[in-house]
Amino acid sequence: MNKNLFEVLKTRFPTDLSSPFLKGRQTISYQNLLDRTAQYANALGELGVMPGDRVAVQIDKSGEALMLYLGTIRAGAAYLPLNTAYTPNELSYFLGDAEPSLVVCDIEREDALRGVSGNAEVKTLGDEKEGSIITHVDAASTTFEEVVSDADSLAAILYTSGTTGQAKGAMLSHGNLSSNAKALAETWCFTSEDRLLHALPVYHTHGLFTATNTILYAGASMLFLRKFDIDKVMDVMPEATSMMGVPTFYSRLLQDERLSRDSVKHIRVFISGSAPLSPEVHSDFEARTGHAILERYGMTETGMNTSNPYDGARRAGTVGFPLPGVELRITDPETGGELKQGEIGSIEVRGPNVFEGYWRKPEKTLEDFRDDGFFITGDLGLIDDQGYVNIVGRDKDLIISGGFNVYPAEIEAAIDAIAEVGESAVIGAPHSDFGEGVLAVVACKSGENLTEQDVLNSLNDVLARFKQPKRVFFVEALPRNAMGKVQKKEMREQYAETFQSPKQ
């Protein structure tokens, strides 16, 4: 049986192929999708792309971008999406490492990409069906037989952010992606009647796989926005039944007076991921709209691992329970031994969603997997007394101060509870006496002001002394990447010399 992801998704398409798949600057029906992706698959073959080859893509979000993605999957090649913010210098590493046979980029980036593409063919694609690849696509047949793929055949390579070193290419198989789409569609109760508000980028697992593949598996449709624009989001909200977003989407919605119970009355579920959702945003959003945001937990290497329940309590500050087919355990980071419920340790997962390994990095792959197949995520967490998974932070974010383990998430929650605080991040900086000193970076809410002493005073009766920040700095906003994740590596570099000064 063909395990090609597209073949799996195709079996779930609506009977009426005139049903919309995508509504945005382009309107694409399921029949349009079948025809256009066949043209892309045929065009890739004409351009010399063979099954197993990599197709690297750095283009803006559009309906055509999704057609290229799905055409690549149909052709049995591996799709390699690249952040549109990457510079040619950064791209030279990814392209040199992945060695794609084809690179597709925006028209205006063509000259720059040719300089770092190596032996790869370079084609362009614009969002209005423009670019050099379109000539090949438009002339191609609308009939294509999916390349036969095993469940473990390579479907995509996604490079990790590289915050702990050189970026690594996570190899995702057809089985990884199809199993996750099935689990999410069923867990979140998606049906062909759903219309997902999609304002995420499509070079990241969230917008490309979690959103798009799940919608295709459900035979549903998407309201496709190029980016999160508050006015456009509010305009299409009445048409939507569901929304996936990063936490900043929800905090921005809360700042808009148009957000009300009436404005979201057609929505059945709001889903958040890619970065931690603060309990304050969770509670404020529920108070304003009547909706408890459903938070889940995943990563580049695994897709989604856990989710708060669709039916049942969606607990703020937690990421719910393992998805169907996913096993999760908490282990001692040093010994690998499984810990008791309620104890903080390393989160490890095993299941059909877990990636095949790192591209051309067998040593790193071996290092990150246990002998029994569990993947060491690098996240720290616990399973509470009700079985909900709680993320405490990244292993690399753990602060050891004076011999004590300090978990940034606990301190951030205490600081975020201060009425004037909009958001905070806690990091460790080198300290001659303590090894690492706890340091907080705080962004106040608009129109609010705090001093360092105000924050420290607020924590006196909340946290043990060794957990309290030794310094507090204020910024307009925390540095984040495109998916809303706070860039702690950047802050650690910025504040590395803090405790070298007289005030410690």
For residue 309, is pLDDT > 60? yes
**pLDDT for 233-289, tens place per residue?**
999 999 999 999 988 899 899 999 999 999 999 999 999 998 888 888 899 999 999
Average pLDDT of the chain to the nearest whole number: 94
DSSP letter assigned to residue 249: H
What do you get for the CA distance between the two ends of the chain, in Å? 65
What's the whole-number mean pLDDT along residues 425-439?
88
Q: What class does CATH assign to 5-176?
A: alpha beta
What's the whole-number mean pLDDT along residues 204-231?
97
Q: What is the pLDDT of residue 502?
A: 45
**pLDDT for 433-467, tens place per residue?**
787 899 999 999 999 999 999 999 999 888 888 88
Q: What is the C-alpha to C-alpha distance for residues 238 and 259, in angstroms, rounded to an integer? A: 11
Q: What is the pLDDT of residue 477?
A: 93
What's the whole-number mean pLDDT along residues 110-115?
93
Helix (H), strand (E), coil (C) string for 56-87:
EEECCCCHHHHHHHHHHHHCCCEEEECCCCCC
With pLDDT > 70 as the criterion, what percentage of the chain qualifies?
Answer: 98
250 with 285: CB under 8 angstroms? yes
Q: What is the pLDDT of residue 165?
A: 55
Q: Do domains 228-394 and 398-500 have the same CATH topology?
A: no
The domain locations on the chain are: 5-176, 228-394, 398-500
22 with 220: CB under 8 angstroms? no
Return the structure tokens found at 397.
């974010």
C-alpha to C-alpha distances, 361 to 14, 131, 299, 353, 398, nearest whole angstrom? 41, 35, 18, 20, 26
Q: What is the C-alpha to C-alpha distance for residues 133 and 424, in angstroms, rounded to an integer? A: 45
> Which CATH number, 3.30.300.30, 3.40.30.10, 3.40.640.10, 3.40.50.1000, labels domain 398-500?
3.30.300.30
Q: What is the C-alpha to C-alpha distance for residues 384 and 408, in angstroms, rounded to an integer? A: 18
For residue 202, is pLDDT > 90? yes
For residue 65, is pLDDT > 60? yes
Closest CA to 323 of 303, 300, 341: 303
Any bridge partners for residue 425, and if so which? 441
Task: Report the CATH superfamily, name and number, of domain 228-394.
Answer: ANL, N-terminal domain (3.40.50.12780)
**pLDDT for 68-84, tens place per residue?**
999 999 999 999 999 88
Q: What is the pLDDT of residue 161?
A: 61
